[in-house]
Amino acid sequence: MKQISTDRAPYAVGPYSQAVVIDDMLYTSGQIGLSPVSNTIEASDIEGQTRQVMENLQSILEAAGTSFANVVKTTCFLKDMNDFAAFNEVYGVYFESLPARSCVEVSNLPKGALVEVELIAKIKEDSLRTF
């Protein structure tokens, strides 16, 4: 198992990794809309927080040598399911292919976040040589 870490995404706020690679698969921890610069949630709306979440995930994917094109599954947590359509608008911009997905409403998220997303992605063959 190889841990993935990048300063272009927020550091873990607990005893866990941003992501791990096992064989040719990347498993990310859930990302909330923390800015990697300020380590705070700067956006107050679902669109802004979702955009930051997806940018954080993109940075982790790139650090592992892969991209959204290789994502096979996402799990999405929304504080309010009434934000579903607005969340989808931003989320959909990042995917050309459509991975499998679960999306559920939860009662609370870390740091008062409105959204959290985790994903599983395949690592490109040539990227595996670096692990």
Question: Domain boundaries in the chain?
Answer: 2-128
Catalytic residue flag (residue 76): no
Counting as low any pLDDT under 70, the low residues of the chain are 125-131
Residues 6+ apart with CB under 8 A from 107: none
Q: Kindly report the pTM of this predicted structure.
A: 0.94
Predicted pLDDT of residue 126: 64
Report the distance separating Cα 53 and Cα 110, nearest Å.
Answer: 13
pLDDT of res. 13: 74
Please tell me which residue in 103, 122, 124, 128 is annotated as part of the active site. 103
pLDDT at 75: 98
Round to whole Å and give the CA distance between 109 and 75: 14
As beta bridge partners, residue 4 has 19
Per CATH, the number for 2-128 is: 3.30.1330.40
